[in-house]
Structure 1
Amino acid sequence: MKLDESLFTVPGVRRGLRFYVTGPTPCPYLPDQFERKAFTHLSQAAPDALHHQLSEAGFRRSQSVAYRPACPNCNACRSVRVDAQSFSPSRNQLRVLSRNSDLIRRPVEPRATREQYRLLKHYLVNRHEGGGMSDMGFREYAGMVNETPVQTALFEYRQGPEEDSPLVAVSLTDILRDGFSMVYTFFDTRQPKRSLGTYMILDHIRNAESYGLPHVYLGYWIKQSPKMAYKKRFQPLEVLDGPVWRRLEEDE
């Protein structure tokens, strides 16, 4: 099966970088589809610079690997990022910010804790039971968090300023030259009125704006997938179209 050669030619990225392709596995977003991924290792010279270049080219990070979809017959996955400096929250998003004004964001070193893991297991059972991560043990979680060759932070969100205040949400976030890349988030599903998933994105946008960083990377958006619909609520949203980032239109 022929793969698009552009997957292995990334503008602005150092020559000689070796890419690999995974075997086909069932797509978690589109029925009756199979996914493949092109990936390369970040554990080499100047990993932060390489990670930034690959992120601009639509790659995502998982531990020490950068990957992007490499499906021969499908291009539904679109890389998206929020224009943080032009973002203006909607009325509903302002209400979400207000409902969570009691939360304290605390950046910590990317080191897995049992407290985080308990929250993750609760989240997976209630939101993604039967999914690919549902049987994740603490060792696997620690690998997801600890094994990073690039600048990464864990943002813990607690109900109070003390270190032992109740933990309600966590975001594993990479720090890029031009913003934040939200690698993975999870939260307490017993507090649905908080809309914690939305709140963490809004908080990252607000944090990026305060630092003068232009973007918050949200990973992949799939128009046909209801699970991905929430990403279009963060306007203006940019989509990677070939080698160029452009504004995603409301009617797309």
Structure 2
Amino acid sequence: MRETEQLRVFHTGDHVCGYFPERIARDLVIDPRDPRLAQAYPVALGWGFRRSGGIVYRPHCHGCRACVAVRIPVAGFRPDRGQRRCLARNADVIARVLPAERRDEHIALYQRYLRARHPGGGMDDHGSAEFDQFLVGSWSDGRFLELREAENHRLLAVAVTDLVPDALSAVYTFYDPDESARGLGTLAILRQLEWAARDARSHLYLGYWIAGHDKMDYKRRFAPLEGFDGRQWKRLEFDNGPVVEVGSER
């Protein structure tokens, strides 16, 4: 399409892999200064790219293709038994969609989550500026999907979600680290799928999946799941091994 013709794409320098610290990684990044970035973003999602703040990137590591962009075809999804249990366990939780605007309780929950789930991960000192830069961005059409207890309206989780013409993209989810029994990461994806179905959107993009990586393993439970092989999207098939539930990684 014309809006995305002659977009400049850069290689980043080498950096430590966020998933395998012993490996060196690098990314492809669409020129963040290009004024057409918002128009290019839906197409870039279809090419296996991802948004982080104002950056649209795709892993492009020498000798490694472990990161697979994945998405769920919304019309074909049916919750499995474990996901139905998660919905039943959280029958007291209400969801609402809000503009992607930081509030004090959002950043307080985000900071608690980072301290509990990612200590020493380089994000421990994130404040308001970092929150806005990482989760809100300057050009994306984003929303915050809030999950709250119905009775006391206590905030349990926020799923940062981008809207594109025919899909939703799950950018990042943070939640109350003291409520791990609820399975809030799983619940957030289930509520995003319900939202996508209400809006008649075709896909929910889930970022990257890595075979055998415990922080990515939960994504294969959301069947059918499609993966991008560099040229096209194909349905992924998995064995029936145990699934580790972790709901925050990108």
Contact 1:41 1:64 in 2 (8 A): no
Matched, 1:237 2:237: no
Shift of residue 64, structure 1, vs aligned partner? 1.9
**Which residue in 1 is equivalent to 2:247?**
none
Which of these residues, 43, 49, 63, is aligned with residue 59 of structure 1?
Answer: 49
Question: Which letter does structure 2 place at the counterpart of 1:218?
Answer: L
**Which residue in 2 is equivalent to 1:174?**
162
| Cα separation, 1, equivalents of 2:94 and 2:151 | 6
Matched, 1:89 2:79: yes
| Cα separation, 1, equivalents of 2:126 and 2:210 | 25
Question: Which letter does structure 2 place at the counterpart of 1:126?
Answer: A
Unaligned runs of 5+ in 2: 241-250
**Which residue in 2 is equivalent to 1:186?**
174
> RMSD value over aligned CA atoms?
2.0
**Which residue in 1 is equivalent to 2:191?**
203
Unaligned runs of 5+ in 1: 1-10
Shift of residue 43, structure 1, vs aligned partner? 5.7
Contact 1:12 1:53 in 2 (8 A): no
**Which residue in 2 is equivalent to 1:33?**
23
Shift of residue 15, structure 1, vs aligned partner? 2.2
Question: Which letter does structure 2 place at the counterpart of 1:15?
Answer: E
Q: How does 1:43-122 map to 2 (within 5 A)?
A: 44-122=34-112
* Percent of residue pairs identical: 38
| Cα separation, 2, equivalents of 1:146 and 1:79 | 21
**Which residue in 2 is equivalent to 1:4?**
none
Matched, 1:220 2:203: no
More displaced stretch, 11-20 vs 114-123:
11-20
**Which residue in 2 is equivalent to 1:6?**
none
- Alpha-carbon displacement from aligned partner over 1:106-151 (angstroms, at most 9, x marks no partner): 2111111221111011111111111132221222112223323121
| Cα separation, 1, equivalents of 2:145 and 2:50 | 19
**Which residue in 1 is equivalent to 2:238?**
250
| Cα separation, 2, equivalents of 1:120 and 1:223 | 28
| Cα separation, 1, equivalents of 2:156 and 2:221 | 23
Shift of residue 45, structure 1, vs aligned partner? 4.5
TM, length-normalised to structure 2: 0.89
Contact 1:181 1:217 in 2 (8 A): yes
> Which secondary structure does the structure 1 equivalent of 2:178 belong to?
coil
Change (3 A) 1:61 1:161: farther
**Which residue in 2 is equivalent to 1:8?**
none
Contact 2:27 2:60 in 1 (8 A): yes
Contact 2:10 2:31 in 1 (8 A): no
Contact 1:187 1:197 in 2 (8 A): yes
Question: Which letter does structure 1 place at the counterpart of 2:145?
Answer: F
Shift of residue 75, structure 1, vs aligned partner? 0.7
Question: Which letter does structure 2 place at the counterpart of 1:95?
Answer: R
Shift of residue 161, structure 1, vs aligned partner? 7.7
Contact 1:239 1:248 in 2 (8 A): yes
Contact 1:13 1:53 in 2 (8 A): no
| Cα separation, 1, equivalents of 2:207 and 2:126 | 21
Contact 2:147 2:158 in 1 (8 A): yes
Shift of residue 39, structure 1, vs aligned partner? 0.6
Matched, 1:131 2:126: no
| Cα separation, 1, equivalents of 2:40 and 2:200 | 22
Shift of residue 47, structure 1, vs aligned partner? 3.9
